[in-house]
Amino acid sequence: MEARKIINYGLWFFAFLIINLIWANVSNNVASQELNDVDHEFQANREVLLQPVFGSEADLPIEIQSNFVHVDNASKIEEVSWQLVDEDGKVVLSWSGQTNEFVSLEADLPPGDYRLETTIGENILATQTLDVAPFAPIAIWGHLILSILLVAVAFGEVGVRKFVSKYNEKTVVKEDKPREFRKTRVGMPEADEANDSPWRDPIS
């Protein structure tokens, strides 16, 4: 019996680790959005939407990667820049530099509507990518809620097993009683035998 309990606890602990590892992998995933690329027409002003997850208003970790290359001459250097503007027109993230520079900037921004404004010269290819980790702000809450649910299921399973075990024990005890100590029920043979008397009620 003790070995069975140890195995049962071990299985629940293993399930605890698996669930939290899966959630950790999910919360670390990022959603990528191509803002400008070589296969589509360049857009100087690109709308960016940061959507909250499960109604959370926490800041979302983002990363903007950018690279600019001159079409006619890859070694040619020109000034380029971009800035990310919120709904109020405030610049929340910006960069200025030259072509042939791969740049990656990170920031934590609240959910909402933004606009990416890019300034480049002619014949320049722009590659800009936005990465967002939508589940990162609620990662800790996810671990906590999943752990509590798993513990509740574990205790519930133990309670159900105890209830079923007690019910089975009571059923066995009732069936083991001698016949003369059992309660008679109408329609059962013992009830008919008990009423089988030579005395009859008088005829009225």
Q: Which domains does the chain have, with CATH numbers?
A: 30-134 (2.60.120)
φ, ψ at 51 (rounded to 5°): -95, 135
Name the pTM for this structure: 0.62
Per-residue pLDDT of the chain (204 residues), as tens digits, is: 577 777 777 777 888 888 888 888 887 878 889 999 988 889 999 999 998 887 778 889 999 999 999 988 888 889 999 999 999 999 999 999 999 999 999 999 999 999 999 999 888 999 999 999 888 777 788 778 888 888 888 777 766 777 777 777 666 555 555 555 555 555 555 545 545 555 555 555
What does the alpha-carbon distance between residue 105 and residue 144 come to, in Å, rounded to a whole number? 31
